[in-house]
Structure formats: structure tokens, C-alpha cells
Amino acid sequence: MQNNNRLRIVIQKSGRLSTDSKQLLIQSGMKIDLEDKRLITFSENMPIDVMCVRDDDIPGLIMDGIIDLGIVGENVLKEELLKRQSKLEDSNYIKLMRLDFGHCKLSLSIPINTNYFDINFFNHTRIATSYPYILKKYFDDKNIIFKSCSLNGSVEVAPSAGLADGIFDLVSTGATLKANGLREVEVICYSYACLICKSNNMNLFKKSIINKLLTRIKGVIKARESKYIMLHTPRSQLKKVMKLLRGAEEPTIIELGNDNKKVAMHVVSSENLFWETMEELKLLGASSILVLPIEKMME
Ligand code: ATP
Ligand code: MG
């Protein structure tokens, strides 16, 4: 039964997205005991209920308009979308934002000792996959005829078991492929976790909670990418240091106690930029460098 006074969010129950999804909701200020194994858990401080299910069920719950908001991998979302479109079923949803976890890629792999020339290698082959609709779309666009062998698990053993000539599956480190005598030959797409919502019949109350949550989630992600950097720099090099270490806003410059040749600079900057510029900062004479985590950040 729909309750118009409480927003419902669906996340993965247990798997590669579940810890990050739970952490994101909690860091966004939601008081909720997600360690509980219940199907639905109620937030104590916000009008939000969280439902934990298998990731494959998440896009359908959103597209059917049963649940308001969901966190799911783009790979699973795209597969469900193409499947529903091919069957002319409801497939509407709104992608609110990409999240900063769940990075992986969908690739074609074949046995290590097989000779590979180009994508036409796959003409008239059989490919084992849990993503037959994404694969079909990709091969249809390239006029490649293939047969798929749909498996929901252990896809990587299909070639050695004589079930398929190759596989189309998620790859992260490549260790599973190697352990099964396979090598990646084509990357078809990259995937991230994303936040999606249903596209129909959302009342104003729910819309306002979603907007509040979105602002908080953006703040949490921004804070995770950023660091509070404090350093001392020769006054003569300050302009160059400021140019190198660009921040979210203008830096704070502070005088030092007994050294007027140097100043302290405080800036909120991206962690990547800090690592990229660290050698140059040192060459400019920066010292006493401290890099601190930021818990939350609202611009
Ligand atoms: P479920 O039991 O919920 O159906 P599953 O076994 O289908 O789970 P998981 O292996 O937990 O799925 O992966 C969930 C999602 O996490 C994938 O669909 C993908 O979007 C993402 N993912 C896959 N591999 C990685 C990885 N190495 N690192 C981060 N995210 C990943
Ligand atoms: Mg799954």
C-alpha cells in the first residue's frame, strides 16, 4: 500500500552496493538501523522508509511506480530498461544523479589462447551473459549475429564448461577472468551506482523530501572528494601556490607568529588536485602541509 506521507527508498540488501548505499543514507543525516535484516526499516528522524532487496528488483520497483527512490548500478538499470522496452512495458524513471561508488565495466572476454582480430570475431558465436539485452543492442548496432546463453551467476565458467565461446560480464580487477583462463577483448560500457526516482504521481510533500535529500547527498559526495589543506608558503610564492592549488572558494591567508617571510594558507580543494600538484608545491617551498578530511560540505 502506498503511503503518501512517507518516502520509500529501495537499496540492495547485500552485495557490492549495499554498504555504500547504507552509508550514504546515514551520512546524509538519516537515523536508521540498516543492520536489521527486515525487508523495510523506518527512519527515526525523517519520513522515510528504506526497503532492502536484490539489486535486479530495484529498477522494476521504480519503473512500476511502487517505490519512490532507488540506488542501483547503471548496468542493472539499463538491462531492465531495454528488456521492458522490447516488451512494451512501463519503463519510465528519472535519473537524479550518479553516485561516487559502484564503478565497474561491462566487457566481452574470450579464452586466453583464442586468436582475436576485431569485434567481427563474435559473428555467429554464443556468448554467456547476465545482460542479454545490453549485449543484443550493442551487437545489433554493429550488425553482428550471435546467440546468447543467459546465466545469472558463474558466467565466467561457461567457456570452459563448453556452454559458450565467450562471455559478456562485469569486470573490475580482471582477477576472476584470469582465474578462469579468459581475457578481456572489448569494453562495452562503464557503470556507476546511480540515484533514480519514479516519474509519475509524486506529491509535493515527497518531492520536497527528495529535494532535501538530494542537497544532502550532493554535500556528502562533495565532502568525500574534497580535503581541507593547510600549508605554509613563502610569501613571495603565494600567488603561484594559490594558482596551483585551486579551491572551492578563495583561500584563507593567515600571518605566522614570528616569520613574516612565510604565510599560512588554508584551502578546500580536491584530493586529486593535491596529489597531482604536491611535487610542485614542495618545489615552491611549501612546508608543514596538513591534509584533513571534511565531514560535510554545503556550498
Ligand atoms: P544481488 O544478490 O543483489 O542480485 P548481485 O550478485 O547481482 O547481487 P553484486 O555482485 O552485489 O550483484 O553487484 C551489485 C552491483 O555492484 C553490480 O550490478 C554493479 O553495478 C556493481 N559492481 C559490480 N562489481 C563491482 C565492483 N568490483 N566494485 C564496485 N561495484 C561493483
Ligand atoms: Mg543481482
Q: How far is the CA of 18 from the centre of ligand 1 (A)?
A: 9
Total structural domains within the chain: 3
Q: Please name which ligand lies nearest the alpha carbon of 16.
A: 1
Q: Do 198 and 76 share a structural domain?
A: yes
* CB of 104 shorter than 6 A to ligand 1: yes
Residues 109-120 have pLDDT tens digits of: 999 999 999 999
Q: Please name which ligand lies nearest the alpha carbon of 79.
A: 1
Q: How far is the CA of 14 from the centre of ligand 2 (A)?
A: 10
* CB of 76 shorter than 6 A to ligand 1: yes
CA distance 75 to 56: 10
The ligand 1 atom nearest the CA atom of 56: 4
* CB of 174 shorter than 6 A to ligand 1: no
Q: Please name which ligand lies nearest the alpha carbon of 105.
A: 1
Task: Supply the DSSP symbol for 250.
Answer: P
Q: Do 158 and 42 share a structural domain?
A: no
Q: Do 197 and 50 share a structural domain?
A: yes
- Tell me whether residue 292 is exposed, middle or buried, using C-beta atoms within 10 angstroms of its C-beta: 0 to 12, 13 to 18, 19 or more: exposed
Q: Do 120 and 76 share a structural domain?
A: no
Q: What is the pLDDT along the chain (299 residues), one digit of tens a residue?
A: 567 789 999 999 999 999 999 999 999 999 998 887 788 999 999 999 999 999 999 999 999 999 999 999 999 999 999 999 999 999 999 999 999 999 999 999 999 999 999 999 999 999 999 999 999 999 999 999 999 999 999 999 999 999 999 999 999 888 999 999 999 999 999 999 999 999 877 899 999 999 999 999 999 999 998 999 999 999 999 999 999 998 878 999 999 998 999 999 999 998 888 889 989 999 999 999 999 999 888 77
- Distant-in-sequence, close-in-space partners of 81: CB < 8 Å, separation ≥ 6: 59, 63, 91, 93
Q: How far is the CA of 192 from the centre of ligand 2 (A)?
A: 15
Q: Do 197 and 89 share a structural domain?
A: yes
CATH number at 257 reads 3.30.70.120
CA distance 118 to 72: 32
CA distance 232 to 260: 11
Assigned domain for 11 exists: yes
The Cα-based distances of 288 to 91, 132, 265, 282 in angstroms read 55, 55, 11, 10
Using the 3D structure, point to which of 172, 191, 210 is the last residue of a domain.
Answer: 191
Q: Do 14 and 151 share a structural domain?
A: no
Q: How far is the CA of 127 from the centre of ligand 2 (A)?
A: 19
Q: What sign for the dihedral angle of Cα 170, 175, 179, 185? A: positive
Assigned domain for 1 exists: no
Q: Do 114 and 33 share a structural domain?
A: no
* CB of 16 shorter than 6 A to ligand 1: yes
276: Cα within 13 Å, side-chain hemisphere: 8
The ligand 1 atom nearest the CA atom of 75: 20
* CB of 54 shorter than 6 A to ligand 1: yes
Assigned domain for 58 exists: yes
Q: How far is the CA of 54 from the centre of ligand 2 (A)?
A: 6
Pocket test for ligand 1, best of 80, 104, 169 (most atoms within 8 A of CB): 104
Assigned domain for 218 exists: no
Q: How far is the CA of 64 from the centre of ligand 1 (A)?
A: 22
Assigned domain for 219 exists: no
Assigned domain for 247 exists: yes
In 117-148, which positions are buried (b, 16+ CB within 10 angstroms) versus exposed (e)? Answer: eeeebbeebebbbbbbbbbbbbbeeeebebeb
Assigned domain for 299 exists: no
Assigned domain for 298 exists: no
The ligand 1 atom nearest the CA atom of 73: 20
Q: Note down the domain range covering 198.
A: 7-101+193-202
Q: Do 80 and 16 share a structural domain?
A: yes
Helix (H, G, I), strand (E, B) or coil at 40: strand
Q: Do 198 and 96 share a structural domain?
A: yes
Nearest Cα to Cα of residue 68 among 44, 81, 50: 50
Q: What are phi and psi of 295, to 5 degrees?
A: -80, -45
Using the 3D structure, point to which of 136, 167, 202 is the last residue of a domain.
Answer: 202
Q: Do 198 and 61 share a structural domain?
A: yes
Shortest-distance Cα residue to atom 20 of ligand 1: 73
Q: Do 125 and 46 share a structural domain?
A: no
> pTM of the predicted model, to two decimals?
0.88
Q: Do 198 and 53 share a structural domain?
A: yes
pLDDT at 89: 96
* CB of 56 shorter than 6 A to ligand 1: yes
CATH number at 74 reads 3.40.190.10
pLDDT at 169: 96
Shortest-distance Cα residue to atom 19 of ligand 1: 73
pLDDT at 1: 58
